[in-house]
Chains A and B, each alone.
Chain A
Amino acid sequence: MSTVANTIFSPELAARFDHLVTIYPLSRSALVPMLLYAQDEIGYVSDAAVAEIAQRLDLVELEVRNVLSYYSMLRTKPAGKYNVQVCTNISCMLRGGYKILDHCKETLGIGHKQTTPDGVFSLEEVECIGACCWAPAMQINYDFHEDLTPEKVDVLFQMYRDGQGKDVK
């Protein structure tokens, strides 16, 4: 497997990818993590990212796109700096998930898969995120926020706006 000379990724991520392709019995196993980590760094999976990942794994780009388009966390368009993902699946729905979603729509002024004009937030309605017992819940990027109320959401948004939100990667 190739290490890439003119990588589009940061040196750290490139080094991580160089390593990742070596640990599996078949290098292709690195594909899904690579796509996700590339998205974490760039904000989305760009054409250039597809091309480089294809090159690193010796796959045709179409094959990378076939895989990429299967997974719902992966996106090919930029999202906001903070991607707000509100769960509306059954446990959350029963405890007001839709109210939280509506509240987010209202306060952010955007709908599903849209981004605020300042690029700070984007919003997504998502399927069950595995926080059913602490519903209603949402994730901002990879961070979980549970037992939500509209008021808690407001506080959270303010925190993130102020740059105090966590940003797990």
Chain B
Amino acid sequence: MPTLVSHPDEVKVISRRFGQGAADIEKYLELDGYKAVQRAIAEGPEWIINTMKASGLRGRGGAGFPTGMKWSFVPKVSEKPKYVLVNGDESEPGTCKDHVLFLHDPHSIIEGTMIAGLAIGSRLGFIYLRGEYRYLLKIVEKAVADAYAKGFLGKNIFGSGIDFDIITQTGAGAYEVGEESALMESLEGKRGVPRIKPPFPAVVGLYGGPTVINNAETIANAPHILLMGGEAYAKLGTERNGGTRLFGISGHVERPGVYELPMGYSLRKAIYEVAGGIKDGKKLKAVVPGGSSCPVLTADEIDVGLDFDQMGKAGTMLGSGGIVVLDETVSIVEFALRVISFYQHESCGWCIPCREGTDWIKKTLTRVHAGGGSKKDIDNVQYLAENMMGRTFCPLGDAAAMPTLGFVKKFRKEFEEYIDGKRVDTPLITIDQLVGAH
């Protein structure tokens, strides 16, 4: 069971019920559970969407798209049924926030799904969890069953005359399935390969029907926002970055954990105060601020606020909120190799630049790391990454290229040291381990 942490700087909105047994429906009800959805029924779709817009909530899945706006894109009338899809595929390395949410407050996700359904006029929601989260799926399944038993789900919810159902679904091991359209493919029983866009899911999504897809944390915010009011929520954060967010701080810090901090909170403080500073008194070398796909920040680039816009200005991304801290002992080459190995393993293989690009970068870095590099390898890696950027079928290619470019550009010297034989490590990953794993 993951340990719960806390810090005085935390502003607990979404984590309010953590550690209080709210997975139990009675406890959840005691803690204001299922009030928001009743309010939503009373006020109607327009009010829900306006409140969400006012909250300034931006998607917690990575891209930070404004949630209220996303919901408003769904056509009011549609021949095909509309769907709500909760993305609980959480697989971006460095990210484990949805994990805690499913564990401690599954009903908030169910309630959020219902609210999204009411907002867009959908009668069926899906909660998709990555296959590895089996024990969490059990918890969510039980929560859904309890909600049905109470009559909160199913026919005529809360006497509204509206029916709403929720189906829970499991994946089976594939990072790419976190990408929204690949998730829909997976949920339709297919290979997790993304779809051509446009059309976007809001228009043609799951089973061809208009679909709202949101990250689990995004969805879980909805009941809180409806209860506290959009403006109140927005005020917790910074401009155009409303509210708070679950940040997972991992790596070389004294107190790793998932903390709920207001948007815009200082990255430096998050590392040095909230997470207790660098482990064992070592020095900070670098930070990967929002999951492995975000370009790395060096130790002197961390005076930046944790919101989508400030991170963008700093040349990186807020991403999935997974802050990975690297101390001075870390070999960037080794780290870069581990990152690209991940994307190589997880590339769906659909498009050429991603499939081949990740493979060649991995092969080259494997050799460089093992001491067999040559001068032009660094340029080659950079060339490959640059030629993947913006050219792939889905953003996974960018997710692989961006961090690679960051490492090579900001830590070029370290790569040169390996090539000049000043640093040699034992091979980290042999190719046969991850290539052709099947």
Contact = CB atoms under 8 A, between A and B. Distances in A.
A32 B192 CA distance: 10
Contacts of B256: 91, 132-135
B252 interface: yes
Contact of A168 (B2, B95, B135, B248): B135
B338 A36 contact: no
B324 A29 contact: no
Interface stretch (B145-153, B182-190, B217-225, B261-269): B182-190
Interface stretch (A1-9, A65-73, A150-158): A65-73
Given A90-B94, A94-B252, A142-B135, A134 B2 contact: yes
A40 B28 CA distance: 32
Interface stretch (B54-62, B106-114, B165-173, B388-396): B165-173
Contacts of A129: 132
A132 B172 contact: no
B214 to A, nearest CB: 18
B174 A72 contact: yes
A146 B250 CA distance: 13
Interface string B133-176: 11100100000000000000000000000000001011111110
A91 B251 contact: yes
A32 B433 contact: no
Nearest to B98: A130
Contacts, number: 163
Contact of B94 (A23, A72, A128): A128
Interface string B364-405: 000000000000000000000000000000000000000000
B93 interface: yes
B248 A26 contact: no
B93 A89 contact: yes
A57 B188 CA distance: 12
A72 B344 CA distance: 13
Given A71-B131, A72-B437, A169-B134, A30 B324 contact: no
Interface residues of B, number: 64
Contact of A71 (B3, B174, B188, B330): B174
B10 interface: no
Residue from A88, A94, A130, A146 with most neighbouring chain B CB atoms (10 Å):
A130
A165 to B, nearest CB: 13
Given A71-B173, A71-B174, A128-B93, A29 B187 contact: yes
22 contacts: A23-B167, A28-B189, A30-B189, A36-B170, A67-B190, A71-B174, A73-B132, A74-B173, A89-B342, A90-B93, A90-B339, A91-B250, A94-B252, A94-B326, A128-B92, A130-B98, A130-B133, A132-B93, A132-B256, A133-B2, A168-B138, A169-B134
Interface of A: 23-26, 28-33, 35-36, 57, 66-67, 69-74, 88-91, 93-95, 98, 112-113, 125, 127-135, 139, 142-144, 146-147, 168-169
Given A73-B132, A142-B135, A147-B3, 10 more contacts: A67-B189, A69-B438, A71-B174, A91-B93, A91-B251, A94-B325, A127-B175, A127-B345, A134-B256, A144-B1
Interface of B: 1-3, 81, 90-96, 98-99, 124, 130-135, 138, 167, 169-175, 186-192, 207, 248-252, 256-258, 288, 292, 322, 324-326, 330, 335, 338-339, 342, 345-346, 348, 428, 433-434, 437-438
